[in-house]
Amino acid sequence: MKLDKTKRGWWESAVFYQIYPKSFQDTDGDGVGDLKGILSRLDYLEKLGIDGIWLSPVCQSPQVDNGYDISDYQDIYPVFGTMEDMEELIRQAKMRGISIIMDLVLNHSSDQHPWFLEAKKGRENPYHDYYVWRDGTEDKMPNDMGSVFGGPAWTYVPELGQYYFHQFAPQQPDLNWDNPKLRQELYQMIRFWVDKGVGGFRLDVIDQIAKVPDEFITANGPRLHEFLEEMSRKAFCEEGIVTVGEAWSADVPRAQKFSSRDGKQLSMVFQFQHIGLDQQPGKAKWDTMPLYLPDLKKCMERWQLGLQEEGWNSLFLNNHDLPRIVSRWGNDGIYRVESAKMLATMLHGMQGTPYIYQGEELGMTNIRLELNQYRDLEIHNLYAERTAAGYTPQEVMESIYARGRDNARTPMQWTAGVNAGFTTGEPWLPVNDNHSFINAEAALADPDSVFHYYRRLIELRKTHEVFRKGKFVLLLPEDPNVFAYLRQTEEENLLVICNFSDKQQSLEEICVPENAKLLLGNYAEQSQALRPYEARMYLW
């Protein structure tokens, strides 16, 4: 079903798919994915049934952080292709009912962006104020704020006697949103992409743009909502433009504001409260603990109820920064297929716009590499910091296996052949050996594959209004193994039941009415009890 994308709200019936271009499909043998590669896989994506592609950054970049460090917002990174390739991709995708959603990195630029090269030249330079500077001396930083990737958030420029602020790597200087000229330039740049025909934008760390470093404020600065409203008015003028902001700090009240139904700010945000549930309280993401299912249920319920009338949810379990979900909350051993389908069922039955991260629809898993095989700067910084702080190398490697971002970034597994059909050259990051049995070719040929299960979930969302509108009711909140909920409209009832454990669970406490029809399930035969990682969706 093709959606009318000129109207606000079309994304409420849509499913999006995230592509990490570096790892999707290489066509010229340099070991790095490219735009032509994405073009060559549009048939595959059309078959899956998605409505839009969130494309991780493809703009010109020194690639210190794989494109999240942009040096020219209006040009394409040559290893990915040309502007013509990009235009062709937008055009061909549109013909298949697929919108391209660009990744906008507006919190910071690359230190190689002409603005920053100018800004460094002197305090009087017109671009100086495009960035966040504070006076200091070599041995005295403005304050002791740290950066997300380790080390201080300040880097000294001796010629100026000043420090610039960077929430991420030193090669990612923060832009100064207090400067109206900078904001105008960003809005103009956004219009450039709207004119090229993109369908919307994913906004990188958008809650961090209004920082006030002097007060240690990074996320949710006092002018944040003002900036978002202005950007929405001036840059996202067409009502069909979909916007999704990445907001690590979002709680329900903030998300209600970000995604309020009047469309004044954003269509929706990525919130991360569910993602942090298996992290030791007060510690870093590397310090893991097992997921306690009732916590996940309460968290999802809070978001489902909180944004039901006021706002809109995005639904996701994976992205390019997160480990693979089957290796995390599922089982990447004997129940890999069952648990991949179960997790998808839990998520896709909810209200919101689901996002599938490349390879999730195949049940791709985490990987374990030698330290020197990893490419992500965050992994290498972590290793250096933690071993220096007294952790054993083995302890640090375990954290990397569990949470390292390269888990998600290994090349897409297309075939069982050499390099999984990703490249004819040397892949920039190793291909997972399990491509011998986890690959798209095998999945397409097998009607019971994870791929076809996702395809059916997407189809169901388009067939039954209850997926979009149904009110959420959590069942069995305290059950440590079973996640069950209802979605209800006047006309339809949807019941979703998921077994998060590798043991059989009783269904006795859930009443399935006689007239309920099994819409979808991940086991072929009927059974009374719930089998390991079993998932069912009933409709009546």
Distance CA 195, CA 54 (A): 17
Q: Is 168 in the site for ligand GLC (CB under 6 A)?
A: yes
- Give catalytic status of residue 398 as yes or no: no
Residue for token pair 């798209």: 440
CB-wise, 320 or 403, nearer to ligand GLC? 320
Nearer Cβ to ligand GLC (321/338): 321
Whether 426 is catalytic is: no
Locate 227 and state its tokens: 């900036």
Residue 111 or 246: the one with the smaller Cβ distance to ligand GLC is 246
At 443, list the tokens. 């999945």
CB 355 within 8 A of CB 17: yes
Contact call for residue 68 and ligand GLC (CB under 6 A): yes
Instruction: Report the nearest approach of ligand GLC to the CB of residue 68 (Å).
Output: 3
Q: Tell whether residue 205 is a contact of ligand GLC (CB under 6 A).
A: yes
Is residue 11 a contact point for ligand GLC (CB under 6 A)? no
Give the start-end residues of each E strand in 365-478.
471-475
H-helix or E-strand spanning residue 517: strand 517-521
Least distance in angstroms from the C-beta of 302 to ligand GLC: 23
Q: Are 169 and 64 in contact (CB under 8 A)?
A: yes
- Select 105 or 537, whichever has its Cβ closest to ligand GLC: 105
Q: Which is nearer to ligand GLC, 51 or 204 (CB)?
A: 204
Nearest residue to ligand GLC by CB is 68
Site for ligand GLC in 245-274 (CB under 6 A): 246
Q: Which of 12, 34, 51, 65 binds ligand GLC (CB under 6 A)?
A: 65
Backbone angles phi, psi at 305, to 5 degrees: -70, -40
Beta strands across the sheet bearing 482-488: 471-475, 482-488, 493-499, 535-539, 517-521
Crossing angle for the helix pair 393-403 and 377-388, nearest 10 degrees? 150
Q: Torsion angle, CA of 29/110/38/33, rounded to 10 degrees?
A: 20
Q: Are strands 99-104 and 162-165 parallel, antiparallel or unpaired?
A: unpaired
Applying the rule CB under 6 A, the residues between 284 and 303 that interact with ligand GLC are none
Least Cβ distance, residue 105 to ligand GLC (angstroms): 6
| Residue 522 contacts residue 344 (beta carbons within 8 Å) | no
Out of 15, 86, 105, 300, name the contact with ligand GLC by CB under 6 A: 105
Token pair, residue 282, equals 């007060």
Task: Please give the size of the binding site for ligand GLC, defined by CB under 6 A.
Answer: 9
Rounded CA-CA distance 314/270 in Å is: 6
Cβ 110 to ligand GLC, closest distance in Å? Answer: 10
Of 246, 360, 361, 378, the catalytic one is 246
Q: To the nearest whole angstrom, how small is the minimum distance from the Cβ of residue 34 to ligand GLC?
A: 19
Which of the following is catalytic: 65, 85, 174, 204?
Answer: 204
Q: Is the distance from CB of 218 to CB of 206 less than 8 angstroms?
A: no
Q: In terms of CB distance, is 400 or 440 closer to ligand GLC?
A: 400
- Contact flag: residue 100 with ligand GLC (CB under 6 A): no
State the minimum distance, in angstroms, from the CB of residue 513 to ligand GLC.
Answer: 43
Q: Does 355 bind ligand GLC (CB under 6 A)?
A: no
Task: Rank residues 18 and 259 by Cβ distance to ligand GLC and give the closer one.
Answer: 18
Minimum CB separation of residue 377 from ligand GLC in Å reads 9
Question: Residue 277 has what DSSP assignment?
Answer: G
Nearest to ligand GLC of 298, 380 (CB atom):
380
The nearest distance, CB 245 to ligand GLC, in angstroms, is 11
Could you give the angle at the alpha carbon of 336 between the alpha carbons of 333 and 340, nearest 5°?
Answer: 150
- Residue 496: helix, strand or coil by DSSP? strand
Inter-CA distances, 171 with 13, 68, 129, 154, 166, Å: 39, 10, 17, 11, 8
Among residues 26, 34, 204, 360, the one that binds ligand GLC under rule CB under 6 A: 204
How would DSSP label each residue in 3-69?
Answer: --TTSTTGGGG--EEEE-GGGT--SSSSSS--HHHHHHTHHHHHHHT-SEEEE---EE---TTTTSS
**For residues 69 and 169, is the Cβ–Cβ distance under 8 A?**
yes
Binder of ligand GLC out of 321, 338, 361, 534 (CB under 6 A): 321
- Please give the Cα distance from 371 to 406 (Å, whole number): 11
| Distance in angstroms (rounded) separating the CA atoms of residues 408 and 368 | 12
201 binds ligand GLC, rule: CB under 6 A? no
Of residues 51 and 246, the one with the C-beta less far from ligand GLC: 246
Minimum distance between the CB of residue 248 and ligand GLC, rounded to whole angstroms? Answer: 7
Residues with catalytic annotation?
204, 246
Q: What is the binding site for ligand GLC (CB under 6 A)?
A: 65, 68, 105, 168, 204-205, 246, 320-321
